[in-house]
């Protein structure tokens, strides 16, 4: 009989809990005050930042010079990674066709490469590079402070005179 009471009590508790939770459907957070859910603010929607500019195909290229000879423009392209330069005409390519000149504007001194990359003439940095001198550099002579590298015994010790060397086969005095 006692177990029947507890089974009824358990089912009654479950039914009451389910009915209570159904009334909380509008207010799911028990820590909010009544009516706080109706004061929802609209989230601020910011426009997405513009995408970054596309990186050039090979940013290690420089236009180092150009000239016109017999109505044909030639351009000095330098690859900083390989540390090599090339002279190219319009339409020529190197690096297995990855680098090719499409057009040249002499007014702006810029070329347009295959793939949309633009190169402008590299300007001088206006600095003098150090050049090794042809004159020999004199070595500094260390100043002698009067101290001898030979250490002499301190006073109070007897001094011994060492006789001069005589060549072999000569009689000694």
pLDDT of residue 19: 74
pLDDT of residue 62: 86
pLDDT of residue 143: 59
Closest CA to 77 of 62, 89, 66, 90: 62
pLDDT of residue 129: 72
pLDDT tens per residue across all 173 residues of the chain = 677 788 888 888 888 877 776 665 555 677 777 777 666 677 888 898 988 776 555 578 888 888 888 888 898 888 888 888 888 888 887 777 777 888 888 888 888 887 778 888 877 777 777 777 667 667 776 655 556 567 666 667 777 788 888 888 777 66
Tell me the whole-structure pTM to 2 decimals.
Answer: 0.40
pLDDT of residue 100: 82
pLDDT of residue 7: 83
Structure tokens at 164: 């001069």
């Amino acid at each position: 009989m006692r177990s029947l009471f507890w089974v009824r009590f358990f089912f009654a508790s479950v039914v009451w809990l389910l009915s209570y939770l159904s009334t909380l459907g509008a207010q799911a957070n028990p820590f909010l005050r009544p009516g706080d859910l109706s004061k929802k603010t609209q989230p601020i929607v910011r426009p997405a930042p513009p995408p970054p500019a596309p990186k050039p195909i090979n940013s290690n290229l420089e236009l180092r010079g150009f000239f016109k000879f017999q109505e044909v423009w030639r351009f000095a392209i330098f690859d900083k990674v390989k540390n090599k330069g090339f002279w190219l005409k319009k339409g020529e390519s190197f690096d297995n066709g990855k680098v090719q000149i499409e057009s040249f504007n002499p007014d702006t001194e810029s070329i347009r490469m295959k793939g949309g990359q633009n190169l402008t003439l590299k300007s001088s940095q206006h600095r003098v590079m150090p050049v090794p001198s042809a004159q020999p550099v004199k070595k500094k002579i260390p100043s002698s402070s009067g101290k001898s590298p030979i250490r002499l015994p301190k006073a109070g010790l007897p001094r011994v005179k060492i006789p001069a060397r005589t060549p072999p086969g000569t009689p000694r005095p």
